[in-house]
Amino acid sequence: MSYLKSQLKLLSASVSVSLFMVISSGSVWCGPCQETDSNSWISSAQSVLKHVDFKVSDFDVPTKAYYYKTPLIELPTLESIVKAKVGRDIKIFIKDEAQQKNDSFKIRGVLYEIYVAITDVINRAKNHDPKALEILEKGLKIVTQSTGNHGINLISGVADTIDLLLKTESDPYFRELIKKIEPVVFTSKSIADVKKSGMVAAMERYRSSLGLSSGSGILDDRYSSYEEAVNKRKQYIKESEGRALYMEHAGTDIMKGHGSIALEVNDQLKEKGISEDQKLAFLMPVGAGGPLGALTAMKLVRPNSEAIMVQTLTFGAFVRILKEIDQIGYEEYLKHIGTDLEIKNSQTPEPTIEYQYADKKNLKIYFPDGIGVDTPEKNAIGVAMDHLDAAVMVDDREAYHKSSILVQKDLLDHYQDASKARVGGTSAIAAEAVLTFADKLPQMKNADVIVITGTEGNILPEIVEYQKSRLKDVDSIKSGYMP
């Protein structure tokens, strides 16, 4: 596999659209340029990336019995808009992970990552590694930082992994050591209440499933920002002297777990009569990088597909990093990591919307908070450059006020059950990417089928009520996207 994918295009949905294209055979990059292609440069990126050589079998993970196969639902409202834009019929579906265990796709990757990490320590201990045995005896800690769903599913994943291991472990001593494994999550004070309550509930389920006291497991939400929570997690890992394992947001194992989405989508498309020779555009919102596993898996199981990463103008550090690498090269950017030159999202981002109340505290909503990390993890950058075909940034306010309403309408028509029709921020930005770029981005414009990933369903009740209140405006919202 070449280290740079031909036709990589990075687009920003700001006032004007910027195009970035690489021709790998000659390392000739054109950009940044307006739609008139008025500017260009010759890239200095010459280094060979140390990418991960994934195989299709990597994504068929042994933990899949602990989560659900979620529905693939057609979105006729989006189809009608895109048909008008591109001048032909096109099928558009949402992989509705709002129906997933814990209301989020995250369980897929996080659970498998935890399973691999814990089984590695146990196997080393059984093979007479004194350090591994000491770690288990003192109590192995499974640790991360989170804006919500990653933390919920880390706690849940620890409980599920313990349950899975106890089903096969016959040694009484190791059974007791397995029960001592604990989840540890660091988060900020400002995360959405629904995400905070989700972590609290997951911790209670973990404790009750093992008959543990309230002192088992740690949920630490004292921090003012995601970056501060990251720093505390790093300190905790260092002080734990090997007893704490960090569950990366973009490690190879979490990507393998998330890749199970692509295997399901591919099967579901076949069930709907959509053959593998039809061109597919597959969109996934990405923060730290874990969902790149789903995009990569899709390209392996369905070669006639295009992998498109979605971010927002507010949380767009990953896209900006790819654009920076266009200019200075991959190896040079790696030198920036950990310095003031590293590209990060703001620690004090502007909310998507703020609701003001006379009788209670104002509510700031960060609609796509699921991608609200400070910056992608290092491993993800190389994987993105190896496997992505495109990346886009959209306005989360447009997603909140418009595209989320259109998706909500189609989900309501499908389920006929308001409790199931849930459109979170990261789901909505994927829809917004389609509505904004379907007639601009070749990877979508030339597609026969577009699949977006609806990544979450645990959203604030205020968002749910707003979406319901806007359903009467579907026709006017739709007309605003029409050419």
Which pLDDT band holds residue 14 (cuts at 50, 70, 90)?
A: very low
Q: What is the pLDDT of residues 411-438, one digit of tens each?
A: 999 999 999 999 999 999 999 999 999 9
User: Which of 20-34, 177-191, 370-384 has the least mean pLDDT?
Assistant: 20-34
- pLDDT higher for 32 or 49? 49
Which pLDDT band holds residue 214 (cuts at 50, 70, 90)?
A: confident
Q: Quote the mean pLDDT of the chain.
A: 89
Query: What integer is the mean pLDDT of 146-174?
Result: 96
Q: Domain 9-104+258-481 classified CATH 3.40.50.1100? A: yes
pLDDT for the residue 100: 97
Q: Is the pLDDT of residue 25 over 60?
A: no
CA dihedral 379, 292, 192, 421 (to 10 degrees): -170
Q: What is the pLDDT of residues 304-348, one digit of tens each?
A: 999 999 999 999 999 999 889 888 988 999 999 999 999 999 999
pLDDT for the residue 326: 84
Q: Same CATH topology for 9-104+258-481 and 106-253?
A: yes
Query: What integer is the mean pLDDT of 171-181?
Result: 97
- The full set of domain ranges for the chain reads 9-104+258-481, 106-253
Which pLDDT band holds residue 215 (cuts at 50, 70, 90)?
A: confident
Q: What are phi and psi of 29, to 5 degrees?
A: -115, 140
Q: Is the pLDDT of residue 2 over 90?
A: no
Which pLDDT band holds residue 51 (cuts at 50, 70, 90)?
A: low
Q: What are phi and psi of 337, to 5 degrees?
A: -65, 130
- Above pLDDT 90, what percent of the chain? 82
Buried b (16+ CB within 10 A) or exposed e, 253-288: bbbbbbbbbbbbbbebbeeeebeeeebbbbbbbbbb
Q: Which residue's structure tokens are 């090269």?
A: 329
Count Cα neighbours of 451 within 13 Å in the Cβ-side half-sphere. Answer: 28
Which pLDDT band holds residue 39 (cuts at 50, 70, 90)?
A: very low
CATH number given to 106-253 = 3.40.50.1100
Q: What is the pLDDT of residues 74-118, one digit of tens each?
A: 999 999 999 999 999 999 999 999 999 999 999 999 999 999 999
Q: Is the pLDDT of residue 398 over 70?
A: yes
Q: What is the pTM of this model?
A: 0.89
